[in-house]
Amino acid sequence: MAKPISIAIDGPAGAGKSTIARRLAKELGFYYVDTGAIYRTVAYFFDLWGISPKDIDGITRYIDELTVEIEYDEEGAQHMIMNGMDVTKDIRTQEISQKASLVSAHAIVRDMLLDMQRDVAKRHNVIMDGRDIGTVVLPKATVKIFLTASAEVRAQRRTDELIAKGEKANYNEILKQIQQRDYQDTHREIAPLKMARDSIKLDTSELDIDGVIEAMKKIIAEKVTL
Ligand code: DC
């Protein structure tokens, strides 16, 4: 088999990475790897154990008790398996988002997860999204895209999403959380969120989903014959 194709999508929280990457993966027949879900699974594990995501001693002591696996169902949807349990739905809370951002700053956590991310890309054509895919996980990715939007637009999208689901949403509160996560993700010492030098920046502030997909396909088509 020829060397698999890898498309790395990095960017801040709420830029639409997962929605876009999932749809593109389906259209192209690639595996979609949501690496944020992997860090969320780790955060969820330590949360269950009552260990703070900042408590590096506790994390170091108990990390060997944790196993994380990625599985795909027949529809190609990614499932996160923590110690044999499917936690895919449990990790989608605001609290776990914040904790994942904090727990992901530790080298011991990032080191543990690096090979599993690279392994999927060795075996399959992938679209992988996260914060450090183009810089650390897949520095030789076939295509690298940095997806971004202003914090205000990202907060508004998140607010609309929650309201559409019938949930409570406070725009100012959400904006504050997004800004806090941006700060944490870009200022950590190891593998901070930053654009790879050979990445192409796409600002989605003024685009709808179809517009982003079209723009991404153009970028991809310049490097890959699909
Ligand atoms: O993409 P997300 O919101 O599900 O990610 C949750 C957190 O995980 C994010 O705030 C930072 C961390 N993360 C990371 O450090 N590296 C990645 N490749 C993906 C996510």
Cβ 13 under 6 angstroms from ligand 1: yes
Contact between 5 and 125 under an 8 Å Cβ cutoff? The reply is yes
Q: What is the 3 state secondary structure string of 21-83?
A: HHHHHHHHCCEEEEHHHHHHHHHHHHHHCCCCCCCHHHHHHHHHHCCEEEEECCCCCEEEEEC
Q: Which atom of ligand 1 is nearest to the CA of 137?
A: 18
Cβ 158 under 6 angstroms from ligand 1: no
**Residue recorded with tokens 């259209």:** 27
**Residue recorded with tokens 């990475």:** 17
**Tokens representing residue 97 in the block:** 């988002």
- Per-residue pLDDT tens listing for the chain (226 residues): 688 999 999 999 989 899 999 999 999 999 999 999 999 999 999 999 999 999 999 999 999 999 999 999 998 899 999 999 999 999 999 899 999 999 999 999 999 999 999 999 999 999 999 999 999 999 999 999 999 999 999 999 999 989 998 989 999 999 999 999 999 999 999 999 999 999 999 999 999 999 999 999 999 999 998 7
Q: Which CATH architecture has domain 6-208?
A: 3-Layer(aba) Sandwich (3.40)
pTM (2 d.p.): 0.94
Contact between 4 and 124 under an 8 Å Cβ cutoff? The reply is yes
Cβ 131 under 6 angstroms from ligand 1: yes
Q: What is the Å distance from ligand 1's center to 216 Cα?
A: 21
Distance CA 61, CA 100 (A): 18
Q: Parse the chain into domains and list their residue ranges.
A: 6-208
